[in-house]
Structure 1
């Protein structure tokens, strides 16, 4: 394992001497630094983009009907069939779409269920990490992006969300539990 890591580092060091690799590396680092400056660093990225996008709907949901506008109203087909015109969504994020379509009560309920599922995967993965099993913890990163806020109205995104969360939960089972199932 250590030999493979050393070999990879050697390959990267050799490639870094080539002009096309340096150009690509510099472009990537420049993009990363510019994005970090624009977003305000890690705090701005997590607070503004990830959490802010999810929480902004609660401050702007006062003009949304209690029971929402109806599931699917902000899709192209749904808005055309229901209103005769294309309607743009109230919010860009998934949480905003759910609250706008389902209403405050049902929207917050669905958000709570999704958040609870994500919290359960974190706790199970952490329990396995504490006994030295790193696989569930490694898989957790993607499922924490997909679980709470991925667009589940789009079937491909829903499929990847279920797959990623399912893999974390399956990897979180002990070997004895895996044999029984």
Structure 2
């Protein structure tokens, strides 16, 4: 169905197909990368009752409004970084499918080596290669230094690097 009567039925179906792909892309971004899982909250925000409306930020101090602006900017950066990461996963999946499948390290019933892997499979393959990447870097790149300075060796990914 469409409100635009100038579009023929096949074009409407094709447009709906694109919408479905966009929805799947949002779901992948959320589940694979946590792109939209950012919690918008600030320490000095006053809690409000559920479904009671908004915070009425215009009635607050300029310091508070600036804090809300900073929080919104952080929220936008989080989403943008997630979407960029998803695009990189899609590129790696389509440009290097055999390398991804070789690094996947597991088995799937739907695994077909001639077909590009999903973002989830690509993310798992990259996670599996991280320790090897960090250890085998002949010259310490900026990325390697950045990751090593921020990795928590008490968590699972750190334990795999130590082993």
TM-score, normalization: structure 1?
0.28
Q: Which has the higher contact order (CA 8 A, sep 6+)?
A: 2
TM-score, normalization: structure 2?
0.30
